[in-house]
Structures are given as structure tokens and as C-alpha cells.
């Protein structure tokens, strides 16, 4: 039976973990290495580290921190932010990352997806999509959710999978940080129609939100940040609840 993954996400800015609401109102959340080790002990299935200002500042993602993380944890982790080339991917995988996440650069140059999949395999490529509801359509946004990409989310997701993306990480800007639940509708649509796992992100606030994104929307994994960073929810307790709700998880 396929088990669902719980993935804490650590947004990194200036070497520290931060958390915002609707991609703004950023506040400090702690040391990324300490948080990562805490999540491993609590039973996280994977971790995701996103250098949230790398694309806007036009610099490479933090390979030094990746090396330190790889030495300290023993579960898979994904790294994203500022990845623009096969060389960037190679550098991060060599530093110890298991997967990379690409967003803005793939929209600017879609054949980057093909290049990464060809050189490293689809299993290490997570295609991140930041989506927002605008005029009755799900639209893609880039640069930390600040600029519309003029693409429909469903169409872009399908294209990226056809090009070789191994997973889709779908973040709802409308739901991000407000803890009213994940975006069930768009998540269900992608999970139903795409042949790759969909990671739901944005809106987690209660145990029930995780249950719903798995059982009602069909997400393969769920990603959250603030509720874990500020110790408002422990992963082991979440998994115990999900297990009792007949959600397949590793406990």
C-alpha cells in the first residue's frame, strides 16, 4: 500500500528559517539544522529546504548549508531556490541533496526540465508550482508569488510532467500561512489527472486538514511549515491521528 508522506518545509533566508503569510510578512522561525534534526526525531518522511530569496537576488542556492544538512540527517531532502542549470543541480546533488525543486527557471526555460530529467532522472526533480485563483482560473505565479506567469496551473503542470518532472509540489498562495486548510479542489484535479505524485502545500492548521488532503483530494504528500516550526503540531502525533483515520502513513 502506498503510504502518504509528511514533509516539513524550511524556507531559508540569510541562513535562517523564516515563515510568512501569503508569501509575505516574514518572521524568524529558527536554525534550519536544529529544526531539521527535530523533525527527523519526530518521524518526518522527508524535508524540503527552499532558499526563498535566491531567484529574486539572482544567486545560487546554498550548497554549504546543504552539505551540513546531509551530514546531520538520515532522511531524504529536497533543495530549491535559484536553480537555473544542470550544473546547479549537479552541485546540490553532490553536496548531499536527494532531490531538487525548480520553479521560476523552468517557466523561463521549460527545456530545463527536460535537461534535468535526462541527466539525473525524473525521480530527483520536483517541479514547484505557486498557484493563485484569479478571475475564476488557477494561475501560476513566480518570484515568490509576486508576479503572474500568464499560465494556467493545470496546463503548466501537465506540460512539466510530459517533460520529465517526477513530482509536483503545489503551493496555494491563497491558502499559504492562514491555516484554514489546503486547497482541495486544485489539488484533487492535479492528483486525479497526473501520473506523478502531488505534494500539497499551503494552509495546514489542524490534523483534519491533513486527513482531508489525503482522503478527499488524493495528494500523495503534504508539506507544512509554521505549525511544525513553532511546535504547534508534532509529526508523531499527527501520524498517530492519521493512522487512526485509516490514512496509510509510516509510524
- Kindly list the catalytic residues: 11, 130
Helices within the chain (DSSP H only): 32-42, 63-72, 86-95, 104-108, 111-120, 153-163, 184-193, 207-215, 226-229, 235-244
Give the integer Cα–Cα distance in Å for 5 and 221: 4
Contact call for residues 196 and 173 (beta carbons, < 8 A): no
Give the integer Cα–Cα distance in Å for 251 and 249: 6
Contact call for residues 230 and 29 (beta carbons, < 8 A): yes
Cell representation of residue 70: 546531509
Contact call for residues 153 and 61 (beta carbons, < 8 A): no
Residue with cell 553536496: 95
Cell representation of residue 141: 505565479
Amino acid at each position: 500500500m502506498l503510504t502518504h508522506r509528511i514533509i516539513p518545509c524550511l524556507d531559508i533566508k540569510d541562513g535562517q528559517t523564516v515563515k510568512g503569510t501569503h508569501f509575505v510578512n516574514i518572521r524568524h522561525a529558527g536554525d534550519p539544522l536544529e529544526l531539521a534534526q527535530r523533525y527527523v526525531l519526530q518521524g518526518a518522511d522527508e524535508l524540503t529546504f527552499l532558499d526563498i530569496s535566491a531567484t529574486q537576488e539572482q544567486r545560487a542556492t546554498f550548497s554549504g548549508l546543504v552539505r551540513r544538512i546531509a551530514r546531520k540527517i538520515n532522511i531524504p531532502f529536497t533543495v530549491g531556490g535559484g536553480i537555473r542549470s544542470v550544473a546547479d543541480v549537479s552541485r546540490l546533488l553532490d553536496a548531499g541533496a536527494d532531490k531538487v525543486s525548480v520553479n521560476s527557471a523552468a517557466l523561463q526555460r521549460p527545456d530545463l526540465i527536460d535537461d534535468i530529467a535526462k541527466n539525473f532522472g525524473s525521480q530527483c526533480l520536483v517541479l514547484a508550482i505557486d498557484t493563485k485563483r484569479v478571475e475564476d482560473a488557477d494561475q501560476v505565479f513566480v518570484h515568490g508569488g509576486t508576479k503572474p506567469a500568464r499560465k494556467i496551473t493545470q496546463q503548466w503542470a501537465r506540460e512539466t510532467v510530459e517533460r520529465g518532472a517526477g513530482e509536483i509540489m503545489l503551493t496555494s498562495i491563497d491558502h499559504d500561512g492562514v491555516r484554514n486548510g489546503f486547497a482541495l479542489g486544485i489539488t484533487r484535479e492535479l492528483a486525479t489527472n497526473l501520473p506523478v505524485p502531488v505534494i500539497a502545500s499551503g494552509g495546514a492548521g489542524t490534523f483534519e486538514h491533513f486527513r482531508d488532503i489525503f482522503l478527499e483530494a488524493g495528494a500523495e504528500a503534504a508539506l507544512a511549515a509554521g505549525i511544525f516550526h513553532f511546535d504547534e503540531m508534532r509529526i508523531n502525533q499527527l501520524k498517530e491521528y492519521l493512522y487512526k483515520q485509516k490514512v496509510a502513513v509510516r509510524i
